[in-house]
Chain A
Amino acid sequence: MFSQGGLSLEQAPPISVVLRFFITGSIFGVLLSLFILFNSFYQLPLFSSHIILVHLLGLGVMASFMFGAMFQMLPVIAGVVIKIPTKKALIAHILLSVGILLQITAFSTSNSYLYLFASIILGGGLLHTSTLMFKELIKIKDHSSSSKGMLFAISSFIITILLGIVMLLTLGGYLDMPYLLELREIHYSFAIFGWVTLLIIAISFQVIEMFFVTPKYPNIMTKYLIITLFMLLVIKSILIFRSIDTILIDIVFSSLLIIYAGVTLHRLYRRRRPTVDGSVWFWRFGMGLLIVSLSSFFIDDLRAITYISFIGFALSIVFAMVYKIVPFLVWFHLSNQGYMEAPMMHDVIHPKRVKIHFFVHLALFTLLIINSFFNFLIVYIISNIVLTLSFSWILYHIVMANRKYYHIQRSFTPIKW
């Protein structure tokens, strides 16, 4: 993982900083799939089940994985130093995990105290971590397209969190907010298209070329895409408050994202030395799903496909990154510490295992998309079992990679080199 700025290896975060978030994200993924399975038999009220599902996915899974990736990538991609990362990651991790559980319990019980505690612990935890990253990113003098993109993604997340806190306090009866529906739309617009999408774009500008030896993205795209998308989100928010139709903004926004996904697919098609690599399949599938999601966005009858394929897009990229980051970290830290027994990346998580996960993932989203037309209970249950398998698979491999790392540290003596 290269940076164009300077970086001492001592500034790279310890492996535990990253893996704790990845393991937590996978556990929340398993919990999410069990919740959906449970809900197919014992249905909670629609509002509760939807909002729990969205937050288990958006915060439990996505925010956990993305915080882990940010702690790893800020130093190496943006040259940003987070001091005492172990302590800061531990605080962020505890507040995030406890906060999500409190929030979900609040949603299912509508207890006003739980709403208050969730807004303090979860909101505080998320704000603590994201402002910490924001403050470091804003200090960069010579921004790359990736570091600038991360700044906009984090800014979007801060807006999302602040609106989330306001809504939790309103649901708990502590605030009387007249524009709750408008706030909700802005909240999820910034979460989905700001935080998640902008972060993926920012990271892709750096890693697609680096991981897969592709031609560079066009300059016009790396320079202007992220800021344009962010500005469109801001304009959309103003229009929402003024009750003005946002269809034009949505069309421009979707078109830009479809062009981005097309360009990314084209880059991946033009790899200079194509080798079999499961993570590139995840990237391709993810970009394909992004195009499906945005193309179906304007057709009301296909709304389920829009949501399912967007979730598939985000999870595909998360999995692609995890399967690159985890083996790299295990090998890199051990190797640099002087352990001659450091496993090569493919010995940490074998590429065949990544491919198996890809096929599970492919089957899952194919089932979900097909079932959005027919709505068979049995297909719904099978797809949720496949979802459980998908998250259990990645959880198992991250835990095993972690065990391998500590096993080598305990069992061998490093050389001085």
Chain B
Amino acid sequence: MTDNTHSIPAGAPPMPPASDAAERAAIDQSCRRPVLFFFGSALFWLLAGTFFAIVTSIKLHDPEFMNRAPLPDAVRFQTGEFLRANPISMQDVGFLTFGRFRAAHLNSVAYGWATSAAIGVGVWLMARLCRVPLRRPSLVTAAGVLWNIGIAIGIAAILAGQSTSVEWLEFPPYAALILGTAYAIIAIWAVDMFASRKPGHVYVTLWYVLAAFFWFPWLYASANILILLKPVQGSVQAIVNWWFGHNVLGLWFTPIGIGAAYYMIPKVIGRPIHSYYLSAIGFWSLALFYSWNGGHHLIGGPLPAWVITASIVASVMMVIPVVVTAINHHMTTRGHFHMLRYSPTLRFVVFGAMCYTLVSLQGSSMAIRSLNEITHFTHYTIGHAHFGLYAFFTMIMFGCMYYIVPRLCGCEWRSAYLIRLHFWTAAYGIAAMVAALTIGGLVQGLMLADPAKDFLGEILAITKPYLVGRSLSGVLLSIGHVVFAYHFALMVLQLGRREGGPVYFNPVEGEARP
């Protein structure tokens, strides 16, 4: 398995020396167990999170959907009727309620899916870019096991009614402690791994990945301590909450996603990144501006104006890293866009990278007070969150998995058809979801701004069809997830293809194929 088999010819660079390929194969093999464990558990939580999502979404337009579970019937017990009839009946239960399922959805996908996938991709990128086999792979796997235990306990606690209701921090402190410990192990491992790298150039992806591994534990610990363990006063909790909540996206998912794109795009295309200088500007401006963004979630809220204004300024300044990164990726891909016809990895990653540009510019605009006045507190914001976490981040993670998994399993994806199905359900599904929530949110926001519009009779009634649309788009996404999980399971079970080269969406024409 060499990398150049995956790059699509048509102007591809000369093949690297065989010794490089052997070295990469050895590095990939060292990642096999921990990275596949993180990917496998990520997909488990993706499926669980998708289930929670669909049910939550339907409940929002059909509040009587799935509120009951079969339980012993207290009423029949009181009448003595249970001795004669079936003592079990459908009863209203708390764990199925909207508010708990919604929290279970967010935490399954944010920590179970996205973070596990990010750690898996991050660990593999670290090994590749440090150019040494993975150090202490069993430690990484152990951290992964601990991480999953923490999430399982946290989700169970939410469903059982122990959610903290602090957005992005719903897990009660005892579950958060397990997660924090697991993550701290990964962070320390990452520093150790970086210190033992082969001397030479530190590629930009490595900055992003290393910084993300460094930032997240600090964020997570600070927020849990200041909001849950030793709480500061209410309004300060709110700003700490959104400093954390936005930085989970900005300083954890975004650097892993962008770092992965910086690796995959040049790798698949087979040419170096357009500008090293631009990538440095992009990285440091992201680190400086993104970390200050959180206050834009509290515009109009009970906080001093300077806090909010500082965050609005930083949000608008985000245009710099976003545009710089977009230019860099575009110039790297320029002249090679035809490769999107063939490479699954490239298609997913480029889709994600383009959405990063769009969603970030949308985010900057949403921080401006006059637009925020309308979009704040509406489905528009929910649409923005899915745009970022799915259309940008999740798509890049899918693309990375299509690249990495064959190299760890030693076999190729079985079916171009399944990958194509995954791509189109994901792309159309998320486009439909973002459209429904964005338009629905704008309608909702404009009507909310007009005090003459009746809350129940007019605003709820008009937004309901958009919520139905969101549920339907979720069904499309679910199909893609099941297909991908099935395809991944085949790979792990060693049922992938062993003959022929990697899977392309379309046959590669001409004699160009090596």
Answer yes or no: are A and B bound together in one complex.
no
